[in-house]
Amino acid sequence: MSNYRTAVITGASRGIGAATARALAKRGMEVTAIGRSAGPLEDLKAEIGCTVRPLDIGDTAAVMAALKDIEADVVVNNAGTMTQSAPFAELDLLELQQSVDVNLKGTLAVTRALLPGMIERKRGHLFFITSMLGPYAAPNASVYAATKAGVRAFASCLRLELAGSRVRVTEIAPGRVHTSFFSPAFKGDMEAVEKTLFSEYDALEPEDVASALVGALDLPEHADINRIEITSTDQALGGMTYAKRAS
């Protein structure tokens, strides 16, 4: 493994973020877990001994103030939110704005706060958790797809800017992951989420995505995996083909 010692993970109160925090803490890294839900963050702190910072990353000023003194070797930009599954013309404007604030603006703010120190120290690894809906289109997910495509473009540009800086950049684009993340798409109805997306399918688990991230992190520091697309073995073609579990 690299000589990285510290990690900052956004969206760490659940799902992929929490699984990544556990994986990095297990490997001896000092983890700062960021999320909007204080209760789950405190539970994570009790479990793995991480530092927690309840924070809405959609608030740029709050992000810059909260992270200005943090030294991060690894930054995992994982926080995200979905809108309800509906045509764009029917979306609530507040829901639309929240998605842009968290998924795109928040990612930019966190990276802006922590990247200068990484460049100065000449070491580090930036991770961006995007989605198969970044490069591949799907109906009723226009805003989410647009924000993830924006993060994808941002990561690609950073990779060019940071060549020679010793700061690595990796985008991880997962397919369907078995978490509560999809709740907003179903208006908070988790029973519908389970029935529609998971009951008949073998989806990825958060730990699978965390394992892919650790694999990229474990490369020698002169090597960088630029992009990972990870799906269930039964999900393919940008997520549009998904075979049901055999009965």
pLDDT tens figures, 87-135: 999 988 988 999 999 999 999 999 999 999 999 999 999 999 999 988 8
Q: 30-35 and 167-174: which strand pairing?
A: unpaired
Name which of 59, 44, 9 is nearest 213 in CA terms. 9
pTM over cut 0.85: yes
Catalytic residues: 144
The structural domains of the chain, ordered by start, are: 6-229 (3.40.50.720)
pLDDT tens for the chain, 247 residues: list them: 568 999 999 999 999 999 999 999 999 999 999 999 899 999 999 999 999 999 999 999 999 999 999 999 999 999 998 888 889 999 889 889 999 999 999 999 999 999 999 999 999 999 999 999 888 888 888 999 999 999 999 999 999 999 999 999 999 999 989 888 888 878 888 898 788 888 888 999 999 999 999 999 999 989 999 999 999 999 987 767 888 887 6
CA distance 187 to 209: 25
Residues 113, 64 contacting (CB under 8 angstroms): yes
